[in-house]
Amino acid sequence: MSGLILIVEDETDLLESLAYSLQREGYQTRKATTGKAAIELARQEPVPDLVLLDLMLPDLSGIEVCRQLRSDDRTRKMLVLMLTARGEEIDRVVGFEVGADDYVVKPFSVRELALRIRALLRRGRTEEQEQEQEQVVFGRLKIDAGAHKVFVDAEEVMLTALEFRLLTTFLSRKGRAQTREALLDTVWGIQADITTRTVDTHVKRLREKIGAAGSYIETLRGVGYRFKSRPDEDAS
Ligand code: CA
């Protein structure tokens, strides 16, 4: 398997041994020991395919690094595999409040890590191919990205450009919790003073417009929203 992996770890022994092991697996690597260096290296072309991100770093936390990666167009889609110690905020990381794609708990075996990395990269590549397809079908919903058209049960639904972007954003992150802040950031493209209520208003309108497909968008109390991972997934 090939790919460029950014390793972010302040324990230099671990950093070096990870880099060595991953190179032996055929990956190219970049190394950072601080959060700030990580963000800089993540933005350098070619951007890494995946970031191995230690949660506890001397400057920024892994959580903050992850947030910054997700809020920048250049690094938004980067896969993030979090390295945590037992008991360290795993709920938040795994709850995808933070937006990590997966995590491993230290101490881990190189073999386990390599398997997780391979699975993530494979998944990432499949999703990319799916997104390149013009038409996406999800249950009763069909989206023609090229023509900017949305159909529910073969009936065309008229959406505003913003609602269209909201829907495609949800779909591109299906199965993952989305905070209102993250949606604001991606869909509205500003981190400014529009309140998170704006998100609620637009989600409500979008749900109404897509009718029968509206139930694919779940509300997560205290978190935000989540687009189902499969159309037939039971409500959680
Ligand atoms: Ca650390």
What is the CATH number for 171? 1.10.10.10
What distance in angstroms lies between residue 109's CA and the mean position of ligand 1's atoms?
17
Kindly state the tokens that stand for 76. Answer: 């938004």
Shared domain for 92 and 144, answered yes or no, is no
Last residue of a domain, one of 81, 112, 129: 129
Residue 55 maps to a domain? yes
Kindly state the tokens that stand for 108. Answer: 């881990």
pLDDT of residue 95: 47
Shared domain for 185 and 118, answered yes or no, is no
Residue 235 maps to a domain? no
Residue 188 maps to a domain? yes
pTM equals 0.57
Shared domain for 149 and 172, answered yes or no, is yes
What distance in angstroms lies between residue 14's CA and the mean position of ligand 1's atoms?
10
C-alpha span between 68 and 191 (Å, rounded)? 12
Contacts of 98 (CB under 8 A, 6+ apart): 63, 66, 67, 82, 92
What distance in angstroms lies between residue 100's CA and the mean position of ligand 1's atoms?
17
What distance in angstroms lies between residue 86's CA and the mean position of ligand 1's atoms?
12
Residue 234 maps to a domain? no
Residue 151 maps to a domain? yes
Last residue of a domain, one of 80, 111, 129: 129
Shared domain for 164 and 177, answered yes or no, is yes
Shared domain for 159 and 48, answered yes or no, is no
C-alpha span between 130 and 121 (Å, rounded)? 14
What distance in angstroms lies between residue 218's CA and the mean position of ligand 1's atoms?
35
pLDDT of residue 182: 84
Overall number of domains in the chain: 2
pLDDT of residue 77: 84
The percentage of residues in the chain with a pLDDT greater than 70, rounded to a whole number, is: 88
What distance in angstroms lies between residue 22's CA and the mean position of ligand 1's atoms?
19
**Residues within 5 Å of ion ligand 1 by Cβ?**
10, 54, 56
What distance in angstroms lies between residue 56's CA and the mean position of ligand 1's atoms?
4
Q: In which domain, by residue range, is 199 found?
A: 131-227
185 versus 78: which is more confidently predicted? Answer: 78
Average pLDDT estimate for 66-94: 81
pLDDT exceeds 80 at position 147: no
Average pLDDT estimate for 153-169: 90
Shared domain for 122 and 140, answered yes or no, is no
3-state SS of the chain is: CCCEEEEECCCHHHHHHHHHHHHHCCCEEEEECCHHHHHHHHHCCCCCCEEEEECCCCCCCHHHHHHHHHCCCCCCCCEEEEEEECCCCHHHHHCCCCCCCEEEEECCCHHHHHHHHHHHHHHHHHHHHHHHCCEEEECCEEEECCCCEEEECCEEECCCHHHHHHHHHHHHCCCCEEEHHHHHHHHHCCCCCCCHHHHHHHHHHHHHHHHHHHHHEEEECCCEEEECCCCCCCCC
Average pLDDT, the chain: 87
Q: Of 187, 177, 185, which Cα lies nearest the Cα of 219?
A: 177
What distance in angstroms lies between residue 131's CA and the mean position of ligand 1's atoms?
35
Last residue of a domain, one of 129, 164, 194: 129
Average pLDDT estimate for 131-138: 75
What distance in angstroms lies between residue 195's CA and the mean position of ligand 1's atoms?
35
Q: Provide the CATH number for the domain around residue 103.
A: 3.40.50.2300
